[in-house]
Amino acid sequence: MRYAHRRSDDGDLRSRLREIALERRRFGYRRLGIMLAREGIVMNHKKLLRLYREENLRVRRRRGRKRAMGTRAPMAHPQGPNQRWSLDFVSDTLVCSRRIRILAVVDDFTRENLALVVDTSLSGARVARELDAIIAVRGRPLMIVSDNGTELTSLAILRWAQDRQIEWHYIAPGKPQQNGYIESFNGRLRDECLNETLFASLSHARSVLSNWRNDYNHVRPHSGIGGLTPADAAKRVVQTHPPGHPGSPGLYL
Tell me the pLDDT tens digit for each residue of 168-209. Answer: 999 888 888 888 899 999 999 999 899 989 999 999 999 999
d(CA 103, CA 101): 7
Taking the whole predicted model, whether its pTM rises above 0.85 is answered as no
- Band (pLDDT 50/70/90 cuts) for residue 161 is very high
Q: How far is CA 221 from CA 1, 141, 143, 158, in A?
A: 82, 24, 26, 36
Check residues 25 and 22 and name the one with the higher pLDDT: 22
Cα-atom radius of gyration of the chain, to the nearest Å?
21
Question: Mean pLDDT for the chain?
Answer: 85
SS3 readout for the chain: CCCCCCCCCCHHHHHHHHHHHHHCCCCCHHHHHHHHHHCCCCCCHHHHHHHHHHCCCCCCCCCCCCCCCCCCCCCCCCCCCCCEEEEEEEEEEECCCCEEEEEEEEECCCCCEEEEEEECCCCHHHHHHHHHHHHHHHCCCCEEEECCCCCCCCHHHHHHHHHHCCEEEECCCCCHHHHHHHHHHHHHHHHHCHHHCCECCHHHHHHHHHHHHHHHHHCCCCHHHCCCCHHHHHHHHHHHCCCCCCCCCCCCC
Q: Which residues pair with 90 in a beta bridge?
A: 102
- Band (pLDDT 50/70/90 cuts) for residue 156 is very high
pLDDT average, residue stretch 118-133: 95
Q: Taking 70 as the threshold, does the pLDDT of residue 23 lie above it?
A: yes
- Band (pLDDT 50/70/90 cuts) for residue 246 is very low
- Band (pLDDT 50/70/90 cuts) for residue 134 is very high
Q: Taking 70 as the threshold, does the pLDDT of residue 74 lie above it?
A: no
